[in-house]
Each structure stands twice: as C-alpha cells, then as structure tokens.
Amino acid sequence: MEKCKVLLTAEEASRSFFAGKRSAWSLLQDAKCKRLPSVRLGNRVFFEVNSMNEFIDQQLANSIATKAIEINGIRKID
C-alpha cells in the first residue's frame, strides 16, 4: 500500500517553506520553468512536501560544497 502524498498549493507552500518571504506567484513561475519540483493537476499546480524538503536539502548541500584546487601555491575555490 502506498503512502498518501501531501500536496500544497502555491500559497500554502509559500507560507510553509518560505514563511511568506517568497510569493506564491514566484513559486508558480519557478515551477513553470522547472526550477522547483511540482505536480500539475488540470490547470492547478501543487508542491509535494517531501519533494520540496529534498530539493531544499539538496540546494543547501550544493551551496556548502566547494572544490578547492591549488596551483603553484595559489588556492582556487570553485
């Protein structure tokens, strides 16, 4: 038996994940451009809670990870 997926509207996702600091409109634009994971049902767009949590965790990990290369004693960080 599969678990139920918890879907949020753009307004609910804005409040839940971004404490209202990102507008619902901007979340919908990001979903349209495939920058945020979303589900489209008819003409409505929803955000699945676990997918959003995974996406945010991945973005945090990517922002922390840096590659340091040393060339002739000079350290370059990518």
CB 47 within 8 A of CB 55: no
CA distance 35 to 9: 16
Residue 1 domain flag: no
Neighbour-count burial for 13-22, b at 16+ CB within 10 Å, e otherwise? bbeebeeeeb
Q: What is the pLDDT of residues 32-50, one digit of tens each?
A: 999 999 999 999 999 999 9
Q: Which residues constitute the domain of residue 28?
A: 7-77
Neighbours of 23 (CB within 10 A): 13
Total of domains in the chain: 1
- The pLDDT of residue 72 is 77
The angle subtended at Cα 41 by Cα 60 and Cα 34, nearest 5°, is 35
Q: Which two tokens stand for residue 64?
A: 């922390």
What's the pTM value of the predicted model, to 2 decimals? 0.75
- The pLDDT of residue 41 is 95
Residue 2 domain flag: no
Q: What is the pLDDT of residues 48-64, one digit of tens each?
A: 999 999 999 998 887 77
